[in-house]
């Protein structure tokens, strides 16, 4: 891994990632964002916008004889934006930057678990024996992923959510803060589990479920 990193995203998730990188002695050298109204959270870190800003930064690196392959990259985009997280990571990779996963030092990750590419494992989270975490997924602060769970690509398990053993999250699932999913439940792709919900039965794809026990609130247009 390199000791410098660019981060796409300059709001909440990027602040969390910044803390983790600092603890790893990795320097965030530049921020990028799609929203040109966003401000950098640090006066020491420059912020540019969109692919055009990235291209200008690459020219800046060239003047210093630095190649993009010498700099890591992370898409710090939370919420339900897993697809954007992947697309932006792939864009930075196409320019030569090296995608990086992060894991907070306080996270407990079983040596018998497996995490994919460009994952973000945040503070106090637990990933149990045999669990699998897909590419571009976020396991947020204090989330508990019990034994043999399978988390698909581009998922986001929000703070303090708990997945009991053998839960399956298909791709692009968002599990809200403090939600609980009981053992051996399957959450279909592109579904959302509302904050505080208790899921007691399988959830079909493209569904928003809320409550205790969780019930379908609405369908998501695919």
Residues annotated as catalytic are: 147
C-alpha count within 13 angstroms, C-beta hemisphere, residue 26: 25
Q: Is 48 exposed, middle or buried (0-12, 13-18, 19+ CB in 10 A)?
A: buried
Cis peptide before 24 (omega within 30 of 0): no
Rounded Cα distance, 68 and 3, in Å: 13
How many Å apart are CA 10 and CA 42, to the nearest integer? 10
Instruction: Say how far apart CA 119 and CA 134 lie, in whole Å.
Output: 8
Strand partners, 192: 174, 208
Determine phi and psi for 61, rounding to 5 degrees: -60, -40
- What is the rounded end-to-end Cα distance, in angstroms, of the chain? 37
């Amino acid at each position: 891994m390199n000791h410098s990193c660019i981060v796409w995203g300059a709001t909440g998730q990027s602040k969390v990632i910044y803390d983790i990188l600092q603890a790893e002695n990795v320097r965030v050298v530049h921020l990028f964002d799609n929203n040109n109204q966003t401000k950098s959270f640090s006066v020491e870190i420059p912020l540019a916008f969109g692919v055009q800003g990235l291209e200008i930064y690459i020219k800046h690196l060239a003047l210093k004889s630095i190649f993009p392959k010498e700099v890591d990259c992370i898409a710090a985009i939370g919420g339900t934006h897993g697809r954007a997280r992947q697309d932006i990571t792939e864009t930075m990779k196409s320019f030569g930057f090296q995608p990086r996963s992060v894991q907070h030092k306080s996270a407990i990750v079983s040596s018998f678990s497996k995490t994919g590419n460009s994952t973000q494992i945040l503070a106090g989270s637990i990933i149990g024996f045999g669990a699998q975490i897909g590419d571009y997924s976020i396991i947020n602060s204090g989330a508990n992923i019990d034994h043999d769970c399978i988390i698909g690509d581009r998922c986001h398990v929000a703070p303090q959510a708990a997945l009991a053993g053998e839960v399956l999250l298909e791709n692009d699932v968002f599990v809200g803060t403090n939600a609980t999913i009981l053992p051996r439940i399957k959450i279909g792709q592109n579904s959302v589990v509302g904050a505080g919900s208790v899921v007691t039965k399988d959830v079909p794809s493209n569904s928003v479920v809320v409550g205790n026990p969780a019930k379908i609130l609405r369908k998501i247009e695919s």
